[in-house]
Amino acid sequence: MTALDRIPVTVLTGYLGAGKTTLLNRILSENHGKKYAVIVNEFGEVGIDNDLVVDADEEVFQMNNGCICCTVRSDLIRIIDDLMKRRDQFDAILIETTGLADPGPVAQTFFVDEDVQSKTKLDAIVTVADAKHVLNEIDQAHEAQEQLALADIILLNKTDLVSEDELAEVEQRIRRINPTAQIHASERCKIALEEILGRNAFDLDRVLEIEPEFLKHFHHHHHDDHVTSFSLLSDAPLDPQRFLQWIQTVSQNHGPDMLRMKGIIAFENDDDRFVVQGVHMLLEGTHQRPWKPDEQRTTRLVFIGRGLPKEEIEQGFRECFVQEGIAAE
Amino acid sequence: MSAFHNPLAPKFGRFKAKSAEIKGWVRELLELHEDTSLTVAELACRDEGCPDIETVIGILEPSKPIITIRVHSMMAEVTKLDVAEAAQKARAA
């Protein structure tokens, strides 16, 4: 099986009642010509019209003495193992998590296990949020924040229940948690499916390809969020050896709290952009494409996590410069 | 493109053959049914008490506790003897 043959997997998360099952049923009922294998929890409780539905039992496997970074979902490994024996029956896999599930181990399963990684590829984490209730959920539940933090795509649902001002406030609050996700507003999960499926969000080629708010300055309200984000920018070129050593140290020291990290790096004497991404301790990085002649060679890094020490990380980043010149937002 | 060792290079496909070989050894040594799911991963963890690098094998049978076999070396260097010794330890634990 080549990289192109790997089955795309979309993870649907979202807090209780946000509309995950509505979205799932929309995906399954639209006439797109694709067949999906669906992995759900408690599928007996909701009607899902699909031939290939598998019930997951949310069994986690801590591969390394309780280390959160090495925790995967063993039920998914088993299910995917079994599904691959029926490979000809579907084109892609959808995983719906429970409203209170931590999507971290789900994502890690697609990077830690060799076989899962060789047969499937995580396409995107899609988080559905209820526009009317998500602010309260963010305030009340860490799970809600972490589901937003891990998302590549956030479907802000039930927007008909809020005013334009309320919607803007919700978007701004979500942006503080996750500045890199694409946010789509919807009513009853009505969205063009190409906006959420086949996104290749974990491909290094697409790291920060769409960066809607990346370079904007955020309005910092005083919310004591469990999960926050910050970005580091610099026009000064970085030393590759120092940077690669430093980013590994950051992930090793702060991996349990580092939910997502993405970056585009400008190395000294290097005509190609270097891209990195991480989920907890799992880091990937590679050269991407040449810098364009008129493109500003700016290094951009986004960290999303639980109480990450911004000043310490910023200082370490500064020490990777060939010369000084940092701006942090 | 400047030349430097990239420790972050994607690992996709790098361990596929070795992973299959290790799974074959585990099935043979523990006489596991072909339907039993196995997981093999090379982990580098800096948590206290964890080795710098190890290969972790999980035996995932429905409705049974997961059996974990740990070999304290890189996946590429794991031998059948390593797996046999580690499996014996796991069974005894």
Write out pLDDT tens, residues A219-254.
Answer: 444 456 778 899 999 999 999 999 999 999 999 889
Q: What are phi and psi of A73, to 5 degrees?
A: -100, 105
| pLDDT reading at A50 higher than 90 | no
Q: Same domain, yes or no, for A174 and A298? A: no
Pairing of strands A71-73, A60-62: antiparallel
Residue A210 forms part of a structural domain: no
- The pTM for the full model equals 0.86
Residue A212 forms part of a structural domain: no
Nearest to B58 among A74, A244, A272 (CB): A74
Pairing of strands A227-234, A282-290: unpaired
Question: Which tokens go with A164?
Answer: 């334009």
Q: Same domain, yes or no, for A34 and A161? A: yes
pLDDT band for B92, please (50, 70, 90 cuts).
confident
Answer yes or no: do B47 and A283 touch at CB < 8 A. no
Q: A236 and A327 in contact (C-beta within 8 Å)?
A: no
- Interface predicted TM-score (ipTM) over 0.95: no
The Cβ-side half-sphere exposure at A215, using a 13 Å CA radius, reads: 11
| pLDDT reading at A84 higher than 50 | yes
Q: Same domain, yes or no, for A190 and A104? A: yes
Nearest to A128 by CA among A78, A174, A59: A174
DSSP line for A111-140: HH-HHHHHHEEEEEEEEEEETTTHHHHHHH
Q: Same domain, yes or no, for A166 and A267? A: no
Mean pLDDT computed over A71-87? 91
Mean pLDDT computed over A307-314? 94
Answer yes or no: do B43 and A64 touch at CB < 8 A. yes
Nearest to B8 among A78, A267, A283 (CB): A283
Q: Same domain, yes or no, for A172 and A129? A: yes
Amino acid sitting at position A193: L
| pLDDT reading at A189 higher than 50 | yes
Residue A215 forms part of a structural domain: no
Write out pLDDT tens, residues B3-14.
Answer: 788 989 887 777
In this predicted structure, what is the pLDDT of residue A328?
Answer: 47
Nearest to A74 among B9, B66, B75 (CB): B66
Q: Same domain, yes or no, for A72 and A189? A: yes
Residue A219 forms part of a structural domain: no
Pairing of strands A7-14, A92-96: parallel
Q: A151 and A181 in contact (C-beta within 8 Å)?
A: yes
Answer yes or no: do B40 and A114 touch at CB < 8 A. yes
| pLDDT reading at B91 higher than 80 | no
Q: Same domain, yes or no, for A19 and A115? A: yes
Answer yes or no: do B16 and A118 touch at CB < 8 A. yes
Residue A160 forms part of a structural domain: yes
Nearest to A13 by CA among A143, A162, A109: A143
- Output the domain CATH number for residue A108: 3.40.50.300
Answer yes or no: do B6 and A276 touch at CB < 8 A. no
Q: Same domain, yes or no, for A66 and A193? A: yes
Q: What are phi and psi of A122, to 5 degrees?
A: -70, 120
Q: Same domain, yes or no, for A25 and A128? A: yes
Contacts of A255 in chain B (CB under 8 A): 46
Mean pLDDT computed over A32-46? 77
Min distance A51 CA to chain B CA atoms (Å): 22
Domain boundary pick from A202, A217, A250: A202
Residue A208 forms part of a structural domain: no
Q: By residue range, what is the domain housing residue A321?
A: 227-328
Write out pLDDT tens, residues A209-223.
Answer: 655 454 444 444 445
Average pLDDT for chain B: 86
Q: Same domain, yes or no, for A185 and A112? A: yes
In this predicted structure, what is the pLDDT of residue B28?
Answer: 94
Exposed/middle/buried for residue B82 (C-beta within 10 Å: 0-12, 13-18, 19+): middle
- Output the domain CATH number for residue A244: 3.30.1220.10
Nearest to A241 among B4, B9, B16 (CB): B4
Q: Same domain, yes or no, for A47 and A156? A: yes
Q: Same domain, yes or no, for A59 and A108? A: yes
Domains identified in chain A, total number: 2
Q: How far apart are CA A173 and CA A158, in angstroms?
A: 17
Min distance A77 CA to chain B CA atoms (Å): 7
Residue A241 forms part of a structural domain: yes
Residue A276 forms part of a structural domain: yes
